[in-house]
Chains A and B, each alone.
Chain A
Amino acid sequence: MTILYFLIGCSILLALIFLAGFFWAQKSGQHDDLYTPAMRILLEDKEEPPPEK
């Protein structure tokens, strides 16, 4: 059962890495605008104009 010490250590370490990842995303402003990227992805980049309606 002593393996549990190691496993719990691993799981906490992993969770800490995710937490650090979230901190980084928050600090670098990735959560500032949660709306526009969802629209942006639907637009063409530099294609010919789509057929006119």
Chain B
Amino acid sequence: MKETLTLKEITCYHCGDEVPDAGIRADEKDFCCQGCKGVYQVLRDNQLCSYYSYNDHPGANREQQNKRFDYLGEPSIVSQLIDYTDEQQTIVTFYLPHIHCSSCLWLLEQLNRINPAIYYCRVDFLKKQINIKFDQCQLSLQGLVELLDDIGYEPLISLQDIIKKQNAVPRDNLVLKIAVAGFCFGNVMLLSFPEYFGLSIADQSFRHFFGWLNILFSLPIVFYSGRGYFVSAWNNLRNKVLHIDFPLALGIAVLFIRTVAEILTHSGAGFADTLCGLVFFLLIGKLVQQKTYHHISFERDYRSFFPVAVQVITDGKERPVPLSELETGHRIVIRNQEIIPADAILLKGEALIDFSFVTGESVPVSKTLGEIIYAGGRQTGQAIEMEVIKPVSQSYLTQLWNNEAFTQPKGNRIPSFNEKVSKYFTIVLLAIAFSAFFFWLQTDSSRALAAFTSVLIVACPCALALSTPFTLSAALSIFDRNRFYLKNTAVVEQLAGIDTIVLDKTGTITTGDPTSLTLQAELTGEQKQLVYSVCMNSGHPLSRMICRYLGHEDGLEVADYTEILGKGILAGIRQHQVRIGNEQFVLGCRGAQVNTTQVHLMVDDNYLGYFSFIHYYRKGLEKIAELQTDYQLHLVSGDGDHELPELLPFFRYAEQLHFNQSPQQKLDYIRLLQLQGNKVMMIGDGLNDSGALKQSDLGIAVTENINNFSPGSDAILDGRSFEQLPSFLKFAKDTVKVIQLSFGISLVYNLVGLSFAITGKLSPLTAAILMPVSTVTIISFTSIATRVAAKFRKLL
């Protein structure tokens, strides 16, 4: 039965959405909206229908499209966007969020079949970017963007251009350094083998030849591949910090000097093989640590969310003005789905503003003429005219970014295990080396020198330096599998170190998903209207959801409106008495305990039924509430305290809940907690949490779709994985334990090596065996242990 039902369901040929009853047809294909049909027709006219054969329904839904790209005619804006231009051609790179399948790739690289003025298109699939070379005499940038929009790929254009930033990052040529190190390592190993097996007297001339070649190969290792360690060690010494790079640099230097000395004086074969292996493995560790997500940006601020330009009316004419030139007193026009870029007074039109990106609240708020509307809201409905009262950077929301939390680098971070331990490690290492030196100095000065250098060679913390990157990158990919995206590997250790969790409410612990609402009542048209009108007056999120569920009814005038906190609403409309609220409030008695939140309806003493909200709070909130044994839990919300009674069961004390908090107050609250010595993790979702996310020791942005806008943060969590947060926290602690254990293992190797070294009789062969063996042990231990821990926490 079920199968026949799914077969009958008609889906849009372009985007795969369900086609409503009055669907649109063209060429015997069904479309859900004019937009989708339009894209299909463009592609059909250009013989590009293969687009639909590589994948089913590759398109994006095009129902809402009224983007205006007039501002791309402004030369000042154009010059900011393009990469390169000359007389014949212009090169530009766009970020297209919709790129998701091979059809997208195919179509976007066939653009010159639609317009021959486009010479060349190259898609970078993982970065979701397209690089286009075109003739600007025949096709303007605006035309190009409109063409992309016509085929369903609207570029995301913002002033804080993520693409440019990513591409502008100076490439440290780590890969090249590894290539050189690998090249030298391989050759040196080859040349060292004869020495291991022993050379006959007749082959003595080869010994010198191989020795010289080894020195030659060590030069690029030390001065090119390993240069970074010396620079970093020197910088740390100047700042009076003992970082792990110091013993590493010391080890490299001692290895090199002793190798050169031994070969030049014909006193030994030197340690060229150990030296090359050390640098090679260290650099690989560095590479492993550099995992990046190309398609996710952790650095977004309001500029990447706000439009590039806004329509300003001057002398009765509309003209696009770049946002940076917007001034107080300008009269701006905001159309449907456009974002208000600065605090402004509503002058004309019906404003219905969606603040979902700012607060997470997804039900639009209506505003009256003369009211101040804060920047960040998105207009839904007809065009409105407004007068700017504050420049963009000084608006209620955006002034957050002037706060010092954004201008100063985070000091006072939770120190990583490596940082904590390497200080003591270095001191102990130097102490052992010098005591061995002075011990042998009394009897044999050359042996003293040998012992001193051997200690530094053998105790070089290669395994220690590798354990952290390998463990953390393994942890990062496990988080990644569970839809929790960390900015870099250091965040894992921060996650293990926090002791206080601060939650935002709307959008973070709640979902605005209307499907979670079901109506357990038969309502007549009039009753619907009554309920709608009453709920319209309430700011309570449940009322908002009911309004959205009922759709757009005509609002009726409400008399005697009383809202009783935590209970419900009592109102009179057209001689009807309406009671909406919880069971006790409406029916006067408490019924059986239910898992769902219910809102009961009563009109004129007739009980109508109830709305039930399943999982109005995100699944797993109770699990997070259980974390209170180990963590302090706080809630800061921009909303009023309507929901205090519903939320209180999750928290221990009412003092942990803070309502009516402005973005600045949220930031200040985090700072207050930090001043009390807490390590704070902030979980938020909207622009209004940006300050708090930045100020906290670890900011996590919760989002429904990782490609959508999310405020700048240290980590991005997909809303579906919210309930796994306690496991994530425990797993992060496990990871730190793995690092500590592998440090223990590497110490054992060091002790074994030291027992050879302090006697001053370390043979190159022992060093050459010990170093790779310890490295391999550490790498395999960390990757296996991390996987075991992940399995144990049910993350794998």
Contacts and interface: CB of A to CB of B under 8 A. Distances in A.
A15 B180 CA distance: 11
A36 B180 CA distance: 27
A19 B177 CA distance: 11
A43 B179 CA distance: 33
B288 interface: no
Nearest to A51: B53
B49 A49 contact: yes
Interface residues of A, number: 26
Contacts of B49: 49
B261 to A, nearest CB: 24
15 contacts: A1-B203, A4-B206, A19-B179, A19-B183, A23-B176, A26-B173, A26-B175, A26-B176, A32-B124, A33-B124, A33-B127, A40-B109, A43-B102, A44-B50, A49-B50
Interface string B49-80: 11011101000000000000000000000000
Interface string A1-21: 100110010001001100100
Contacts of B521: none
Contacts of A49: 47, 49-50, 53
Contact of B50 (A15, A23, A32, A50): A50
Closest 8 A/B residue pairs (Cβ): A49-B50, A36-B125, A43-B106, A33-B124, A35-B126, A19-B183, A50-B53, A22-B179
B209 interface: yes
Contacts of B54: 43
B213 interface: yes
A36 B124 contact: yes
B403 interface: no
A35 to B, nearest CB: 5
B123 interface: yes
A53 B56 contact: yes
Contacts of B105: 36, 39-40, 43
A23 to B, nearest CB: 6
Interface in B777-791: none
A33 B175 contact: no
A39 B123 CA distance: 11
Interface string B160-180: 000000000000010110011
B290 interface: no
A52 to B, nearest CB: 5
B206 A31 contact: no
A26 B206 CA distance: 35
B187 interface: yes
B187 A53 contact: no
B209 A5 contact: yes
A50 B276 CA distance: 53
Given A33-B126, A36-B123, A53-B53, A12 B179 contact: no
Nearest to B129: A33
Residue from A23, A39, A50, A53 whose CB has the most chain B CB atoms within 10 Å: A39
Nearest to A16: B183
B126 A36 contact: yes
A36 B106 CA distance: 11
Contacts of A33: 124-127
Residue from A1, A5, A49, A52 whose CB has the most chain B CB atoms within 10 Å: A49
Contacts of A42: 102
Contacts of A15: 183, 186-187
Nearest to B179: A22
A12 B209 contact: no
A52 B50 CA distance: 8
Interface in B196-228: 203, 206, 209, 213
Given A15-B183, A36-B125, 8 more contacts: A16-B183, A26-B175, A26-B176, A33-B124, A36-B105, A36-B124, A42-B102, A43-B102
B720 to A, nearest CB: 25
B603 to A, nearest CB: 53
Contacts of B191: 8
A8 to B, nearest CB: 7
A19 B180 contact: yes
Interface in B91-128: 102, 105-106, 109, 123-127
Nearest to B123: A36
Contacts of A5: 209
Contacts of A26: 173, 175-176, 179
Contact of B187 (A4, A12, A52): A12
Contacts of B124: 32-33, 36
Contacts of B180: 19
A34 B106 CA distance: 17
B125 A39 contact: yes
Residue from A16, A19, A36 whose CB has the most chain B CB atoms within 10 Å: A36
Interface in B638-672: none
Contacts of B213: 8, 12
A16 B180 CA distance: 10
Contacts of B102: 39, 42-43
Residue from B125, B126, B127, B186 whose CB has the most chain A CB atoms within 10 Å: B125
A23 B101 CA distance: 32
Nearest to A22: B179
A22 B125 CA distance: 24
Contacts of A19: 179-180, 183
A33 B54 CA distance: 22
Given A36-B126, A39-B102, A52 B209 contact: no
A15 to B, nearest CB: 6
B19 to A, nearest CB: 18
Contact of B175 (A1, A8, A31, A44): A31
B221 to A, nearest CB: 13
A5 B124 CA distance: 47
B691 to A, nearest CB: 35
A32 B213 CA distance: 34
A32 B124 CA distance: 9
Contact of B53 (A12, A16, A35, A52): A52
